[in-house]
Amino acid sequence: MGTEIKVYISVDMEGIAGVTLFEEIEAGKPGYEYFRQVMTRETNAAIEGALAAGATQVVVRDAHDSACNLLPEELHPEAMLIRNWSEGPFGMMECIDSSFAAAVFVGYHAKANTPHAILKHTMSFKIGDLRVNGLSLPEAGWNALIAGYFGVPVVFVSGDKAVCEQCKSFLEKCHTVAVKEAMGSASINLHPAKARDLIRAGVEKAVRERAQCSPFTLAGGYTVEIEFTKEEKAYRGQWYPGAERVDDRTLRFKSEDFLACLRFFEFVS
């Protein structure tokens, strides 16, 4: 029997090829139905790449907004799909564990306040910045830390050019595919078919070369700082056990165990 190779794919929507406006990724708004199809096709490209690299099981986490965006009937039949939020602490990385050989992020976006980025934010518009051990992270960084907690490396990221550049700064050897680039409030995009080709090939290469990537962890324990956009969130969050109010809008939490930090984030954000 061959070695089991499980691949975890977390899929957001802001970083999908062509997406430029928030109304295009919100259910019921113009463009949403089209772009959820594009999202599903990019996900399928990633699944195909993982399978071509020898994956024996692929788990896909719909990780955007309602978490019910991907079209189940049109998803690759070899993949398992996680829909909706469980309200547990793992969020965009629901069901990740140490049995996975690699994690893949599709359709991701840059952190809040990033220049030259498309639909930038960090988890929600309530957060201005998320820092771990002084390192300002996008959602991809936080989710990579969740994967790293279980010893799983993030081997591939696709999205706009800005998030790819951010991920390269802290995910050594991670493969990236930029499907678009910001130009003011506009965007310059690859054709969706071209984006899919690059994602398919990129994921295949990344999964094959997964041994070159290390799980994202930080030495010496974890200090998490959440800078909120409104003072009220920091006021409320300061009552969480172990939380420290740093300034009007910022909370700090320290722990040797990243899972404790994850719980803190879940309950105060």
Sign of CA dihedral 239, 240, 245, 248: negative
∠ CA 234-239-241 to the nearest 5 degrees? 120
Per the CB < 8 A criterion, the answer to whether 241 and 142 are in contact is no
Cβ contacts of residue 172 below 8 Å, gap of 6+?
213, 214
∠ CA 154-21-81 to the nearest 5 degrees? 40
Residue 64 known to be catalytic = no
The rounded distance, in Å, linking the Cα atoms of 97 and 21 is 34
Per the CB < 8 A criterion, the answer to whether 110 and 161 are in contact is no
Per the CB < 8 A criterion, the answer to whether 202 and 178 are in contact is no
Catalytic residue among 64, 109, 121, 175: 121
- Which active-site residues does the annotation give? 121
